[in-house]
């Protein structure tokens, strides 16, 4: 954590083992080629489909430090670059996560980048073309990113409204990979591995998740994430009744509307009886 508490640094080298990630297609190969050729990468896909885990996996696999920034409405360019702070009566400059990543040759991951303030994308532009520089106006520095630095950003195109979209001029500075929820067999294997619940008991949970995702944009703003399916499976493995585990992990997190939740529970009954 630092300054506004919105980011963290992860330095999982290959010696510690990469976080588990099950590839869906060639996304790992695309990431490696982008890294080797110093290209910025944009990940597009729904919330909870594995984008953040993928980046953590690849950073560890490549043996690179990782700065993850959870973008939000109040995140400004200064939060990324740094600012002067009072320390022990002195005013000192403190680097933000983007500046640290550039200095250290690390990977900087901006999660849900469109949630940040508009001045953030302006800061990114010099880092996402052949200049690969980060001007710091407050200190007069102009940092040149080394070979180890990589900028990765993500967003959910299906969730953004007209006021929160990524401009074409920004999107076209990145190579992009589209993510989606895994195929049922694939997701079943992932949930079983992460939760410890057997695949035959996980399969109905994944089938329910698919039905809930079909309601996205209708009764639900967002479909159920793989993360929530893992939570439900974990609760079941710990002995919680199936219906209760589904309710607390896969129904309540999706909506506060009683009528909507009642309709979702009808789906649960149809699948689990």
Helices (H), 82-148: 97-104, 118-124
**What are the beta bridge partners of residue 92?**
85
Residues 6+ apart with CB under 8 A from 137: none
Among 74, 73, 71, 132, residue whose Cα is nearest residue 101: 132
Helix axes 226-237, 199-213, angle to 10 degrees: 140
Residues 6+ apart with CB under 8 A from 44: 154, 155, 156, 157, 176, 177, 178, 179
**What are the beta bridge partners of residue 177?**
43
pLDDT value at 170 more than 60:
yes
Share of the chain above pLDDT 70, in %: 91
Q: Which tens digit of pLDDT belongs to each residue from 46-73? A: 888 899 999 999 999 999 999 999 999 9
pLDDT at 14: 38
Q: What is the mean pLDDT of the chain?
A: 89
Q: Are 160 and 15 in contact (CB under 8 A)?
A: no
Q: Which tens digit of pLDDT belongs to each residue from 147-164? A: 899 999 999 886 655 456
pLDDT value at 3 more than 50:
no
Helices (H), the chain: 27-36, 51-62, 77-81, 97-104, 118-124, 168-171, 184-195, 199-213, 226-237, 242-246, 258-272
pLDDT at 9: 59
Where is mean pLDDT largest: 80-84, 86-90, 158-162? Answer: 80-84
The pLDDT-based confidence of 17 (bands split at 50, 70, 90) is low
pLDDT value at 39 more than 90:
yes
Radius of gyration of the chain (CA): 21
Share of the chain above pLDDT 90, in %: 73
């Amino acid at each position: 954590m630092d300054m506004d508490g919105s980011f963290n640094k992860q330095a999982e080298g290959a010696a510690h083992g990469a976080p588990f990630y099950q590839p869906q297609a060639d996304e790992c190969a695309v990431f490696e080629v982008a890294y080797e050729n110093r290209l910025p990468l944009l990940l597009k896909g729904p919330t909870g489909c594995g984008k953040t885990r993928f980046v953590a996996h690849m950073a560890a696999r490549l043996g690179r430090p990782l700065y993850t920034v959870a973008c939000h409405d109040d995140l400004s360019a200064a939060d990324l670059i740094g600012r002067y702070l009072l320390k022990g009566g002195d005013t000192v400059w403190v680097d933000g996560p983007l500046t640290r990543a550039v200095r250290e040759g690390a990977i900087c991951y901006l999660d849900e980048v469109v949630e940040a303030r508009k001045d953030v994308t302006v800061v990114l532009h010099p880092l996402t073309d052949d200049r690969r520089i980060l001007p710091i106006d407050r200190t007069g520095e102009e940092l040149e990113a080394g070979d180890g630095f990589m900028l990765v950003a993500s967003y959910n195109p299906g969730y953004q409204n007209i006021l929160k979209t990524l401009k074409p001029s920004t999107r076209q500075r990145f190579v992009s990979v589209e993510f989606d929820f895994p195929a049922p067999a694939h997701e079943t294997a992932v949930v079983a591995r992460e939760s410890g619940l057997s695949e035959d008991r996980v399969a109905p949970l994944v089938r329910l998740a698919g039905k809930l995702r079909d309601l996205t944009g209708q009764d639900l703003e967002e479909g159920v994430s793989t993360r929530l399916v893992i939570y439900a499976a974990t609760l079941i493995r710990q002995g919680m009744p199936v219906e209760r585990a589904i309710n607390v992990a896969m129904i309540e997190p999706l909506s506060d509307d009683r009528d909507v939740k009642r309709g979702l529970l009808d789906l649960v009954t149809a699948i689990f009886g």
